[in-house]
A and B are shown apart, each in its own frame.
Chain A
Amino acid sequence: MRWLPVFKKEMRLYFGSPVAYVVFTFFLVISGWFFSQIFLFYSDASMRSFMQPQFGQNLNVVDNVMRPLFTNMSVVLLFFIPMLTMRLFAEEKKAGTMELLLTYPVRDGEVLAGKYLAALALYLILLGLTLLYPGLVAYFTRVEWGPILTGYLGLILTGAVFLAVGVLISSLTENQIVAGFGTFGVLLAFWVIGWGAEFAGGNLRPVLQYLSIGDHLEGFTRGLIDTKDLVYYVSGVALALFLTLRALESKRWRG
């Protein structure tokens, strides 16, 4: 397994440069802000429901705090993940280090695995830090952990797709800004594509709905693990990584 040296090198580069710290800091600041606002709103609503029992019968902390938080975090990830992935191949191509990397006795797939898993590991650490929020909720009130865990699973899968798209686009260019912005553009397009479903007729409607990244997270935040969504995420990751391998291979041909 020669992916491990590449993985370790990428991790060292993430933490040896400010990238990891900057992304962590701002993601936590922004998601923390969302969490505090949602939580304050919820506590206000539950206070009112205490006084007017007919109001807000179905108040539930997971539905009203964690679900909107998951959705908000997934939107923030749309902006942040391109910054984690943009350097992975583009930087190496620009600096020429790709030439050395590809002449070491490792398969292209092992290089890709090392890089993708490093980005994924960084993302998991980032998500791990946000466990503070459900932890805080659980400190104040009783929570159902099931839907929180599925919500995190949904976020992990969403992030895995985002990262795979980012890796793919990074392998297509040697300009990091193009890689970052291109990734953001593609992800945003897949985010808003579902909105078109409203007005699309016929067979197009379910297709657009299925392609939309955000729609697949919905079920997970409600505690549902739907095979349809799993297939979407897994095939998205597989397709993007497969295309990345092809891009690396074609580089060898074109020189």
Chain B
Amino acid sequence: MIQVDNLTKRYGPVTAIHDVSFSVDKGRIVGFLGPNGAGKSTTMKILSCFMAASGGTARVAGYDVFSQSLEVRRRIGYLPENAPLYPDLSVASYLNFVAEIKGVGRAVRRGRVADVMERCFIGDMQNRLIGKLSKGYRQRVGLAQALLGDPEVLILDEPTIGLDPRQIAEIRSLIRSLAGQHTVILSTHILPEVSMVCDGVIIINHGRIVAQGTESELVQQAFPAARIELRVAGADSDVAGAVAAIPGVLGVQPLATRDGGVGMLVEAARDRDVRPDLVRLVAGRGWTLQELHQVGMSLEEVFIRAVAGEQEPHEPLPAAAEEEAR
């Protein structure tokens, strides 16, 4: 449905995206992940025909975004970053304008507008001026205008930004419900959102795609080994050495000492669960087992690895802190 080949965009001397290629199949929801300034919005602006690329091609529903721009624009719904809207129009008159400009027929227009207002939970605000709405409502009005005209492809730049947790959940389930009939590409900073909403992930950094695939594929690629965090107290001898001797253990990395216990990160082959062996070892030596758990091979860590290129496997960055950091 979306086919992007070697897309490049330069703003003067600055290259925003470089040689970006990916494709999204019909009915799929793909998350576009990347730090600020990575080129997510630039890619979306090109896909939505707002901007021309400096090089490469992008096709939406088989039409070229540059040479067949109008055909593409008939088939997309776009929510730009920060949902820019007209503050002096009321919600209903704004959505009516959008329906009209998207060519929704006069006979069904009122019904369609009412429908998207209901789906985006903004019906109660339809006579308010957009300028008087809270950020969360504005964001949902933005989403509503993207949904108008029932476009095949939705391009959503940070659709849940500025919403409260309950609204986020509602909008996520709304987006999730679009899968199948609609192809969605959405960008976000919130990593759990991708796991919850998306079928596939594209990670972009410094204008280049650094990883793409489904979440489990990415995790497998990034972490070929299973990882287990182990903390042992009362050890009188070399714990690491003993652990490393267990068959299936590929490596042992020391962790910081906490609560008087020796900590380590054990990497083991995925086809063999070494946890029972670890328990038996600790019990057999008479040590105290403080902690034993498989550490998350979550998207977050994949993301941090892909983006930062540095490994911090034992301290998963909390999603909240990640959001704060924006």
Contact = CB atoms under 8 A, between A and B. Distances in A.
Interface string B166-209: 00000000000000000000000000000000000000000000
B210 interface: no
A17 B84 contact: no
A125 interface: no
Q: Number of contact residues on B: which range applies? A: 20 to 34
Contacts of B103: 2, 105
Question: Chain A's interface: helix, strand, loop or mixed, by majority?
Answer: helix
A48 interface: no
B51 interface: yes
A84 to B, nearest CB: 15
Nearest to B93: A12
A82 to B, nearest CB: 20
B76 A17 contact: no
A100 interface: yes
Interface string A75-102: 0000000000000000000011101101
B84 A99 contact: yes
A17 B74 CA distance: 31
Contacts of A9: 86, 89, 97
Contacts of A95: 84-87
Contacts of A252: 50-52
A103 B73 contact: yes
Interface in B9-39: 9, 11
B137 interface: no
B73 A104 contact: yes
B320 interface: no
A254 B89 CA distance: 29
A101 to B, nearest CB: 8
A96 B52 contact: no
A140 interface: no
B100 A8 contact: yes
A2 to B, nearest CB: 6
A97 B145 CA distance: 12
Contacts of A100: 78, 80, 84-85, 145
A12 B89 contact: yes
A211 B135 CA distance: 50
A100 B73 CA distance: 11
B78 A103 contact: yes
Nearest to A97: B84
Contacts of B101: 2, 5-6, 104-106
A50 B75 CA distance: 75
B89 A105 contact: no
Interface residues of A, number: 25
A246 interface: no
Contact of B70 (A13, A17, A107): A107
B97 A255 contact: no
B86 A97 contact: yes
Nearest to A254: B11
Contacts of A103: 48-50, 73, 76, 78
Contacts of B145: 100
A13 B9 contact: no
A253 interface: yes
Contacts of B93: 12
Given A12-B93, A252-B51, A96 B84 contact: yes
A16 interface: yes
B45 interface: yes
A13 B84 contact: no
Interface in A1-45: 2, 4-6, 8-9, 12-13, 16-17
Contacts of B305: none
A214 B17 CA distance: 51
A99 B100 contact: no
Given A13-B86, A97-B86, 6 more contacts: A9-B89, A16-B89, A103-B49, A105-B73, A105-B103, A252-B52
5 contacts: A5-B101, A8-B97, A16-B89, A95-B87, A103-B48
The 10 closest A-B pairs by CB, nearest first: A96-B84, A5-B100, A5-B101, A105-B73, A255-B51, A105-B74, A103-B48, A97-B84, A9-B97, A99-B80
